[in-house]
Structure 1
């Protein structure tokens, strides 16, 4: 009961914090999803009809789309060019019946270690699992990013029966793995390990994304973890709830 109470309290605190400082477009999405939850609850109670979460998200999207069209016609809704550009840089769910692993590495100044965060989601934007790993040693940013991608590839190998896309915001790392690299590149052995595993697993691929679309992995990599250990989260820690919801609502 204590754990459930803590999760509920964390959600309330997060919601109140978002309502107090979030931009208008985010508030619209949050309000619409809450409306969707209330709508689904009434359907279940009064009509004995179950609305899956994915249907609820689509219902919310439709309400927002209709609201935006109405406001555009009346000249109320105005979007700046900067917001339009930012909206194009967002996390996208994988194809139907596929999975996506976002991965990121974090180095902390003054610590003889680095952390890697990984999050698995499906085509409904649903969180499936997360993992944080902390490794001892002083390494470059490139080495840390490549180590993270390698660990994500190895984790993807454990998932049977579907294709897995691994996303990293390290352009140098993803280019080195997918397109080859100069022999002087750091961590050549890590690149080769990634390429070897991928060559034997056609269902696993690696691609680059912008940092704005990789926030969930970055946030998880900052969760405390003992050196040379790892933690698997079957349910998302509270620090990811905001990012997961934001990604799910980025239509």
Structure 2
């Protein structure tokens, strides 16, 4: 971009003659650069170049998935069983795993928490895992679902319901659209687990639907070495 050139003129020139695919990539990358600029200006946080690019491709992938589903907005899920606002017990002899993830920028950590309950609603197990890096929120949410799927695989014949409050990630796991990003790699691992585990169901739930014990588990993530 030449000095003194207005951004609108530069963007118009860059988009001229480009395919629809390349136009989407250019616009999304510009948006990600703008986000990084605002974070530096207002919060004093500097993004690495790889993060800027990764965020752009991840957002574009998520947008395409929601568009392919014909959704007006990601606040209105249309998959049967999605969108619960009150936590409910699983069916008899079934289990339920609630997952959550968090990013602690000041501590330079990310973490996940999982709570498993039986058909009576009793807590039967819990897991936390911490990572010594500040991850993209969608990435750590995807890792949480992957951990839950791996956990469910160990339960043999028991049917397990997995609930997450991150609709974007749930949609990515359900979709078959290719994703070329770090998040996409974990999403593909989740898809493989879903195919391998016949006794698992994945649902999106509203934030208020999570059991309170998960919040306690969520706060313990920082203590995990």
Tell me the TM-score normalised to structure 2 length.
Answer: 0.58
Equivalent-residue separation in structure 2 for 1:100 and 1:177 (angstroms): 18
Whichever structure has more helix as a proportion of its residues is: 1
Where has structure 1 moved over 2 Å in runs of 4 or more? 179-186, 215-219, 224-227
| Cα deviation digits, residues 99-123 of structure 1 (max 9, x gap) | 0000000111312211111111111
Q: Does 1:221 align with 2:218?
A: yes
Equivalent-residue separation in structure 2 for 1:211 and 1:130 (angstroms): 19
Task: Quote the residue 2:176 is aligned against.
Answer: 180
Give the count of matched residue pairs. 141
Q: Which residue of 143, 150, 153 corresponds with 2:149?
A: 153
Q: Does 1:140 align with 2:102?
A: no
Superposed displacement of residue 214, structure 1: 1.5
Give SS of 1:187's match.
Answer: helix
Contact 1:133 1:225 in 2 (8 A): no
Task: Quote the residue 1:96 is aligned against.
Answer: 92
Where in structure 1 are there 5+ consecutive unaligned residues?
A: 1-87, 230-251
Equivalent-residue separation in structure 2 for 1:147 and 1:224 (angstroms): 14
User: In angstroms, what is the RMSD of aligned CA positions?
Assistant: 1.9
Superposed displacement of residue 133, structure 1: 1.0
Tell me the TM-score normalised to structure 1 length.
Answer: 0.52
Superposed displacement of residue 159, structure 1: 1.6
Contact 1:115 1:222 in 2 (8 A): no
Q: Does 1:115 align with 2:111?
A: yes
Q: Does 1:208 align with 2:204?
A: yes
Where in structure 2 are there 5+ consecutive unaligned residues?
A: 1-83
Q: Which residue of 124, 127, 146 corresponds with 1:128?
A: 124
